[in-house]
Structure 1
Amino acid sequence: MNALHQYLFDTYRAARLEEAMPPAPGTHDLAVLRAVRDHRRFTRVLAGRPAGGRLRYALTRRRRPRPC
């Protein structure tokens, strides 16, 4: 059973019991990803490492011309 099947079962059950409908699958995905990113940045700061920007650093390092 995938997330869509579970969602359909939950909405059917909520309609029969006259309860609030559950959120659709994927509704809070971005919020969860942001929370994970913020938590990882926070733990890096506590450990004394740079807070982030590894991807941006790697991309700018590739764009810069190499010294001859």
Structure 2
Amino acid sequence: MSITQQYLLDGYRAAQHGEAAPPAPGSHDWETARELRDYRRFRAVLAGRPATGRLRGALSRWLHGRPRRPVP
């Protein structure tokens, strides 16, 4: 069963029971991505690592073979 079919079935069942329809598939994807980013930053701070610029720094080291300049 595809996501769209499941959504339509859930919407039908909700209408039969007089409940609110479920959110459309993909409507909360950005919110979920932001929550994941915030959680990873939080875990980095707890572990004593810098909370920002980690991905960009890793890509810079990988592409250029040298460490990135520290942020003042």
TM-score, structure 2 length as denominator?
A: 0.73
Identify unmatched segments of 5+ residues in structure 1.
64-68
1:52 Cα deviation (Å)? 2.6
What is the aligned partner in structure 2 of residue 11 from structure 1? Answer: 11
What is the aligned partner in structure 2 of residue 50 from structure 1? Answer: 50
Q: Which has a greater percent of helix?
A: 1
TM-score, structure 1 length as denominator?
A: 0.76
Q: Secondary structure at the residue paired with 2:16?
A: helix
1:54 Cα deviation (Å)? 2.6
Following TM superposition, where does structure 1 have runs of at least 4 consecutive aligned residues deviating by more than 6 angstroms?
A: none
Q: Which has the higher contact order (CA 8 A, sep 6+)?
A: 1
Identity across the alignment (%): 56
What is the aligned partner in structure 2 of residue 27 from structure 1? Answer: 27
Q: What is the RMSD computed on CA atoms of the aligned residues?
A: 2.0
| CA–CA separation in structure 2 for the residues paired with 1:26 and 1:10 | 15
Q: Secondary structure at the residue paired with 1:52?
A: coil
